[in-house]
């Protein structure tokens, strides 16, 4: 280590990653198709960046990988991940969730605040951020709670969380709605001075008391209490007006209904929004067998809702895909419907579901996938080093995808501690082959590289 060089990457010295020594040897990716476009080219990755790009690059001194025309995309960014640590390490940990993320092609995840204890202080978010860095498979950006203990009564220390080493830029009470309009207004106003965004779980609580499933024909037939789409739509409309009045940034979590799409179209430019893979693919018709693996909040809605969500994502009315990866331990999920916790795994299946619902029907091309799974979520979450173009001088933070592969989902084989995938047994298109974070391979051929 006599010639040890040291370099920093990141926004500040506290937030930065130290690379000691010369790092891994240069890696030449031979024959990749950036954004699935044009003839295959080579990418030379050196010192964490894309050093050269073009056909027939000189391989001298580099490890060479023959990529046989794999599609190269910027690493995926998930704005909505439940990592469960601290508190519910029986369902997921930052380590197992990071592994699932890397295997799913993700290079950054936003860890939701509904842990036990809730991430509502600078110390709590710093703990999650540090643990993510130690594991090093993906950039873990903690989301801070909007209200103390997600209680909806008192604003949390937003400024202290933003100013902490974790540099929080996304605040959310996800799991519950910030339903008090005065508190929401104050949070929006305060967030403007922090350069932050408030991500709202839009669910009017009085309209969803005891709600178990999408309010409609199927819930009525099954005898399940209804969760009306208007409970989402009315909060989204209200919050768009509050955000515009405050000059603040609002982000709408897990949009689930065609009516919300109408509101977003009306409010275009005043908010950003995400949709989950499960709401793109699945409908409430799945509920017939009362299998709680299909229970999620907001609920699976109708086929028409899914179609509207797909069209909105293609059009850019919905900005991005976010997984709402929600692992649950068997005792919380494998029980009768009403007692089961809502939520579904998503990190390792997201790309394939997006290809199935958006690429195969011609609603998005690979450049569109890069937009909705990497560029837009990185921009909404304010991570400058992610979602970058695949170009010389940019971070070597990318994913290689086999567009022609198919695979069959088996929950027990996923890297998460939990196995509550609604896609069990489905054969889906496209496979993540390799994920790279700043030039380092984090997942390769279905295996995590630590």
Binding part of the chain for ligand DOR, among 96-104, 153-161, 190-198, 335-343 by CB under 6 A, reads 335-343
Contact with ligand DOR (CB under 6 A): which of 104, 342, 387, 395? 342
Residue with tokens 């692992």: 327
User: In the complex, what is the shortest distance from the CB of residue 65 to ligand DOR, in angstroms, rounded to a whole number?
Assistant: 38
Q: Which helix (H) or strand (E) holds 369?
A: helix 366-370
Structure tokens at 433: 């082959």
User: Looking at 284, 324, 332, 402, which residue is catalytic?
Assistant: 324
Binding part of the chain for ligand DOR, among 120-128, 144-152, 337-345, 440-448 by CB under 6 A, reads 337-345
- Contact flag: residue 175 with ligand DOR (CB under 6 A): yes
201/251 with CB nearer ligand DOR: 201
Binding part of the chain for ligand DOR, among 3-11, 43-51, 338-346, 436-444 by CB under 6 A, reads 338-346
- Contact flag: residue 201 with ligand DOR (CB under 6 A): yes
399: closest CA among 365, 366, 424? 366
Rg (CA), the chain: 21
User: In the complex, what is the shortest distance from the CB of residue 406 to ligand DOR, in angstroms, rounded to a whole number?
Assistant: 28
CB 130: neighbour CB atoms within 10 A? 15
Binding part of the chain for ligand DOR, among 53-61, 159-167, 336-344, 391-399 by CB under 6 A, reads 336-344
290: closest CA among 219, 347, 356, 350? 219
319: closest CA among 236, 377, 270, 359? 377
- Contact flag: residue 326 with ligand DOR (CB under 6 A): yes
CB 421 within 8 A of CB 414: yes
Q: Where are the alpha helices (DSSP H) in 300-365?
A: 303-315, 330-333, 350-354
- Dihedral sign of CA atoms 230, 232, 234, 236 in order: negative
| Cα–Cα distance, 80 to 76 (Å, whole number) | 12
Contact with ligand DOR (CB under 6 A): which of 93, 234, 297, 306? 297
36/343 with CB nearer ligand DOR: 343
- Contact flag: residue 33 with ligand DOR (CB under 6 A): no
Binding track, positions 102-131, relative to ligand DOR; x by CB under 6 A: ------------x-----------------
61/210 with CB nearer ligand DOR: 210
Q: What is the dihedral of CA 245, 248, 253, 255, to 10 degrees?
A: 40
User: In the complex, what is the shortest distance from the CB of residue 341 to ligand DOR, in angstroms, rounded to a whole number?
Assistant: 6
User: In the complex, what is the shortest distance from the CB of residue 82 to ligand DOR, in angstroms, rounded to a whole number?
Assistant: 5
Contact with ligand DOR (CB under 6 A): which of 30, 33, 46, 82? 82
| Cα–Cα distance, 79 to 353 (Å, whole number) | 17
Q: Which residue has its beta carbon closest to ligand DOR?
A: 343
DSSP single-letter state for residue 34: E
341/385 with CB nearer ligand DOR: 341
310/333 with CB nearer ligand DOR: 333
- Contact flag: residue 296 with ligand DOR (CB under 6 A): yes
Is residue 324 part of the annotated active site? The answer reads yes
Q: Where are the alpha helices (DSSP H) in 284-329?
A: 303-315
CB 205 within 8 A of CB 235: no
141/300 with CB nearer ligand DOR: 300
User: In the complex, what is the shortest distance from the CB of residue 87 to ligand DOR, in angstroms, rounded to a whole number?
Assistant: 11
Residue with tokens 């709408």: 252
CA atoms within 13 A on the CB side of 298: 36
User: In the complex, what is the shortest distance from the CB of residue 68 to ligand DOR, in angstroms, rounded to a whole number?
Assistant: 39
Parallel/antiparallel/unpaired status of strands 213-214 and 197-200: unpaired
Collapsed DSSP state (helix, strand, coil) of residue 311: helix
Which residues here bind ligand DOR, judged by CB under 6 A?
Answer: 82, 114, 174-175, 201, 296-297, 324, 326, 341-343
Which residues are tagged catalytic?
324
């Amino acid at each position: 280590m006599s010639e040890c060089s040291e370099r920093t990457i990141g926004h500040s010295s506290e937030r930065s990653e130290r690379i000691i020594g010369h790092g891994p040897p240069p890696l030449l990716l031979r024959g990749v198709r950036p954004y699935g476009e044009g003839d295959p080219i080579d990418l030379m990755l050196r010192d964490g960046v894309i050093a050269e790009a073009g056909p027939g690059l000189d391989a001298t001194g580099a490890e060479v990988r023959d990529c046989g025309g794999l599609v190269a995309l910027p690493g995926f960014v998930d704005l909505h991940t439940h990592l469960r640590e601290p508190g519910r390490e029986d369902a997921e940990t930052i380590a197992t969730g990071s592994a699932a993320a890397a295997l799913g092609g993700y290079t950054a995840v936003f860890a939701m605040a509904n842990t036990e204890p809730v991430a509502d202080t600078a110390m709590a978010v710093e703990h999650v951020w540090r643990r993510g860095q130690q594991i090093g498979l993906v950039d873990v950006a903690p989301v801070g709670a909007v209200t103390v203990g997600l209680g909806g009564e008192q604003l949390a220390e937003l400024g202290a969380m933003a100013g902490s080493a974790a540099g929080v830029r996304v605040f959310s009470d996800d799991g519950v709605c910030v339903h008090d309009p005065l508190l929401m207004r104050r949070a929006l106003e305060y967030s403007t001075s922090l350069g932050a965004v408030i991500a709202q779980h839009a669910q009017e609580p009085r309209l969803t008391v005891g709600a178990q499933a999408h309010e409609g024909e199927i819930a009525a037939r099954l005898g399940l209490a209804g969760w009306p789409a208007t409970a989402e739509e009315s909060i989204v409309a209200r919050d768009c007006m509050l955000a515009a009045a405050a000059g603040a940034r609002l982000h709408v979590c897990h949009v689930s209904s065609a009516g919300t799409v109408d509101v977003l179209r009306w409010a275009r430019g005043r908010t950003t929004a995400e949709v989950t893979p499960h709401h793109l693919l699945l409908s409430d018709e799945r509920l017939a067998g009362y299998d709680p693996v299909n229970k999620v909040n907001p609920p699976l809605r109708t086929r028409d809702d899914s179609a509207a969500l797909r069209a909105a994502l293609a059009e850019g009315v919905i900005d991005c895909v976010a997984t709402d990866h929600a692992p649950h331990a068997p005792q919380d999920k494998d029980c009768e419907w009403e007692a089961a916790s809502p939520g579904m795994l998503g990190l390792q299946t997201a790309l394939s579901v997006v290809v199935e619902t958006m690429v195969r029907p011609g609603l998005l091309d690979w450049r569109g996938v890069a937009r909705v799974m990497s560029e837009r979520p990185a921009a909404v979450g304010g991570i400058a080093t992610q979602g970058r173009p695949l170009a010389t001088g940019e971070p070597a933070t990318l994913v290689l995808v086999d567009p022609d592969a198919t695979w069959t989902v088996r929950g027990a084989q996923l890297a998460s501690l939990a196995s509550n995938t609604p896609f069990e047994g489905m054969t889906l298109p496209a496979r993540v082959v390799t994920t790279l974070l700043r030039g380092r391979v984090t997942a390769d051929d279905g295996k995590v590289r630590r």
